[in-house]
Amino acid sequence: FRCTQCDKCLRAMSKEQIRIDRHHYFNRKGRVENHKTISEISRRHGKVFLDRRNARYLVEENIRDDVEFDLKIGCCEYFADSETDEEEEEHEEENEEEENETILNGDTFCKWACLQPQRSLKEVFGGADFFCWRTVVRDIAETVVFHNPKKKGRRWSRIALRAGDVIMLGIDDSGFFLSDSEESENELDDEGGGEENNEEMKREERVEEDEKEERKRERMEDIKVLTERQRYYSGYKFEQYMTSKKPQGKSEPEKPLEKRNFQTVMTLDLTEDYYEPIKICSFAEVDALRGDEPIEIKSTYAEGFASKLHTFLHCNFANMKSLITGIRDEDFVVRRVFERRTCELQRQLANKMPGESRADEKSYSFLHDVLSMTRQVLTRAEACRFSYLPRSGIIQFEPISLSEAEKRGHGFVFLYSITRK
């Protein structure tokens, strides 16, 4: 007898792996299709409204080549006032009908699911096999194309648990397990011969190193301000230039930035020839609407192949057919805004080798493999964790307990308990 719940017994189980071999995906053609929106959500300060009151609408007149949108305006004030802004209450919707409003605390999306009229989670999520944020599946999918064993990649880790007939995917908020340590160990070379070095030279080198470290820390502080905060802020500021609160309205970039959370809940089929389709339900942020059409808005300094793939996957998982792009300079000023169909990006993802699949097709095939393996692991455990280890070139899966999943930040654990009642 072996317990299937405690962490000790789960660690003793074998670990599955998917080796990232690009040749294996050379001519595989995965795709996503049958998009269907099942709900729209506006969220403010813990309140959830099942309507478009938080939606923003595209301002067509700002799509032109002669713009000058300064994305730095209000940045310092935004971060200085961010804490107090969170405490402010909005009263403009006080007279709305109560039947359209549900006051929720904690994980609003999970509680939204619990309040739906359907009786099972499978029905709530539109018959989906997997449920997650759009960015979770996007980041998994693009891994097979971006993986380069010769370069240090960005590791990621995900947590999955089964609630009824639906598998919930979330981000692992904690650190890596000890079993991942081979990714960072033995990186220092044994260089011997230290006794021959002059002590004076060593002291001078230490002083120089200390000075370099001090300069590096100062530069890092500047970089944090310009990159982390400014890039984060500039994306939302550009949306403010390009949208209005009402259809056919005007943008109001002179006003303080206000984030308005509007999401869609959508199902889609992840398919590939000769394999069983996987249905995914995901939440996706909507930047703007043109009528009923969702529009993606982004500003960028330069677009390479990786950026195009990332953007296309981001749009396609949410069925966004149009993309508004603002080209900015190094000073975070947008000089040109243009629109294109996302299918134009898709055509640019084709490879030069005869018979080779497009980058997005490879990405969907890889995602199909990862989700299939996740489902397989969850046949013998309540939850599992899978991680991308760049240096090893693998996706590593391992069963974990429900308590471990909750400790690592999985926000859907309480849905599991509901299905067990």
In whole angstroms, what is the distance from residue 292 CA to residue 215 CA?
52
- pLDDT of 221 reads 65
- pLDDT of 209 reads 75
In whole angstroms, what is the distance from residue 295 CA to residue 291 CA?
10
- pLDDT of 203 reads 67
Name the stretches of the chain with pLDDT < 70. 1-15, 81-111, 153, 173-205, 207, 211, 215, 217-227, 409-421
In whole angstroms, what is the distance from residue 286 CA to residue 263 CA?
6
pTM of the predicted protein model: 0.80
- pLDDT of 279 reads 97
Give the helix ranges, DSSP H, for 224-358: 230-242, 305-316, 342-347
- pLDDT of 1 reads 33
pLDDT tens-digit series, residues 21-38: 888 999 999 999 999 999
- pLDDT of 13 reads 42
Q: Which two tokens stand for residue 387?
A: 């991680």
- pLDDT of 205 reads 66
Residue spans of beta strands (DSSP E) within 74-145 = 101-103, 130-133
User: For the chain, what is the mean pLDDT?
Assistant: 80
In whole angstroms, what is the distance from residue 2 CA to residue 13 CA?
10
Rama region for 46: left / alpha / beta (φ>0; ψ in -120 to 50; rest):
left
What phi and psi values does residue 89 have, to the nearest 5 degrees? -105, 145
* DSSP-assigned letters across all residues of 59-79: -GGG-SSS--EETTTTHHHHH
| Residue 220: its H or E element | helix 199-223
Identify any residues that bridge with 269 across adjacent strands, giving them in sequence order: 33, 279
In whole angstroms, what is the distance from residue 341 CA to residue 300 CA?
17
